[in-house]
Amino acid sequence: MRKLLIIEDDRIIGSIYSKKFAVEGFNVEVAEDGQTGLERISAFRPDIVLLDLMLPKLNGLDILARVRAMPEFQRLPIIVFSNAYMTSVIDAAWKAGATTVLTKSNTSPKKLTETIHELLAQADSAPAAAPAPAPAPAPAAPAQSDEDAFQADQRRQFLASVPQFSQAIRDLHQTFLKTEERTAKIAAVGELYRHIHALTGGAGLVGADVIARISAAYEALLKEMHDKPGTINISTTRTSTQTLFFISALLEKAATLPRLTSFDPIVLAVDDEEISRRAVMLSIEKAGVRGIACENGGTAFQKAREARFDLIVLDVDMPGMNGYELCTKLRALPNYKDTPVIFVTSLSDFQSRARSTLSGANDLIAKPFVFVELSVKALSYLLKAQLALQRAL
């Protein structure tokens, strides 16, 4: 019987996959923290490991480094679960010895099952350093009907938990907003992060891709705010609040939300400063969408007339046509009456915010900004527009 070790601090996700793979014929163990997981690798000696990177006591990167330092486990297949927005962590996981990396927000049980069977087959065919007993045959992949039944059952459980979970994250966010003492505020962000981290995994598990996608981005923002408290400011707090409200609205409609269809938005980023322009483009790319950059308002307006963009990100202080003027001209075009416009500018005083609103902008982020904050904000507006198009919200 093949042995599977799941190192996952979310008890719900760990329990679900434990039961699923036990039914498929695996001998499964679950470790709920990194230190226990490392110890069980040595004692349980699994054939394959499913490893979450964000763990208490010992994180996934440390586990990977220590396991790969042991000669007997250098070929052990290790599947890492991560957040697509934490690119530096993903790169570190590959360097530390991950066999493959999957993102929780878009990995279905079927995809995970296929990956496990593929890696076990590869491990069986790899040349051994010395003669060894023939490996036990890998459990057969489940029939499609079993997979569909599993998915339907998990979706029912997910939907049943939504009201209580939604209330919990709203309460946690209120605690974060009301807490003034620095240490307690950071702790509140950390607790909210852990809940959203669980939501990302749960939504991805049941195929709720709209929720999983924004939850993954929001999770990354909260992690940044927790690990770097200096990023907790008026702008990130406002973005956090907006995103929490959006997620709450999605959860209320979770039973009827459609899957994303034809979601391939294009963003126009306009900034005369090259470094700022690159930062905006990186943030857009982190959100998993395409972007086109312009260095002045005139060129941007011409591009907008020639093509259709789903979101506009504007600087304010630009030579020639400034951001306010460009936004006003865009709003006069039939195709851009309702297109979301976000200002990213160093001008963040009350008067500048008022002018941005009067010119037709939807939102404003102050420079210097946290990259993932713009990713979250851009993705929120794009998903809302897509859902409106699909008549879901």
**Per-residue pLDDT reduced to its tens digit, 147-157:** 778 778 888 88
Indicate whether 173 pLDDT > 50: yes
Strand partners, 29: 5
The pLDDT of residue 134 is: 47
pLDDT in tens, 226-275: 999 999 998 899 999 999 999 999 999 999 998 887 889 999 999 999 99
Task: State how far the Cα of 144 lies from the Cα of 128, in Å rounded to an integer.
Answer: 34
Omega within 30 of 0 (cis) for the link into 77: no
The pLDDT of residue 129 is: 46
Indicate whether 141 pLDDT > 90: no
Q: Identify each DSSP E strand in 274-356 by its residue range.
A: 290-294, 311-314, 341-345
Q: Are residues 120 and 27 in the same domain?
A: yes
Is 289 a domain residue?
yes
Q: Are residues 16 and 136 in the same domain?
A: yes
Whether 362 contacts 342, CB under 8 Å: yes
Q: What percent of the chain has pLDDT over 90?
A: 62
Indicate whether 139 pLDDT > 80: no
Ramachandran angles phi, psi of 33, nearest 5°? -150, 165
The pLDDT of residue 314 is: 92
pLDDT in tens, 283-328: 999 888 999 999 999 999 999 999 999 999 999 888 889 888 999 9
Indicate whether 350 pLDDT > 70: no
Q: Are residues 135 and 156 in the same domain?
A: no
Indicate whether 181 pLDDT > 90: yes
Whether the pTM exceeds 0.75: the reply is yes
The pLDDT of residue 206 is: 87
Q: Are residues 133 and 199 in the same domain?
A: no
pLDDT in tens, 370-388: 899 999 999 999 999 999 8
Indicate whether 29 pLDDT > 50: yes
Phi-psi region of 333 (alpha: psi -120 to 50; beta: other; left: phi over 0): beta
Q: Are residues 40 and 159 in the same domain?
A: no
Q: Are residues 7 and 125 in the same domain?
A: yes
What value does the mean pLDDT take over residues 207-215? Answer: 93
Q: Are residues 21 and 118 in the same domain?
A: yes
Question: In the structure, what pLDDT confidence band is assigned to residue 12 with cuts at 50, 70 and 90?
Answer: confident
Ramachandran angles phi, psi of 3, nearest 5°? -105, 130
Domain of 65? 3-142
The pLDDT of residue 126 is: 66
Q: CA distances (Å), 304 to each of 287, 300, 334, in order? A: 21, 6, 11
Indicate whether 5 pLDDT > 90: yes
What is the tally of helices (H) and strands (E) in the chain?
Answer: 14, 10
Residue with tokens 């697509």: 84
Q: Are residues 322 and 338 in the same domain?
A: yes
The pLDDT of residue 143 is: 60
Q: CA distances (Å), 327 to each of 45, 242, 260, 357, in order? A: 61, 22, 29, 10
Indicate whether 393 pLDDT > 50: no
* Better-predicted residue by pLDDT, 178 or 12: 178
Q: Are residues 9 and 131 in the same domain?
A: yes
Whether 30 contacts 13, CB under 8 Å: no
The pLDDT of residue 2 is: 92
Is 328 a domain residue?
yes
For the chain, how many structural domains are there in total? 3
pLDDT in tens, 90-114: 889 999 999 999 988 888 888 888 9
Whether 216 contacts 104, CB under 8 Å: yes
* Better-predicted residue by pLDDT, 19 or 138: 19
Q: Are residues 124 and 222 in the same domain?
A: no
pLDDT in tens, 30-82: 999 999 999 999 999 999 999 998 888 999 999 999 999 999 999 999 999 88
Question: In the structure, what pLDDT confidence band is assigned to residue 219 with cuts at 50, 70 and 90?
Answer: very high
Is 258 a domain residue?
no
Ramachandran angles phi, psi of 316, nearest 5°? -95, -55
Q: Are residues 183 and 305 in the same domain?
A: no
pLDDT in tens, 324-346: 899 999 999 999 999 999 998 77
Indicate whether 130 pLDDT > 50: no
360-380: buried (b, 16+ CB within 10 Å) or exposed (e) per residue? bbbbbbbbebbbbbbbbbbbb
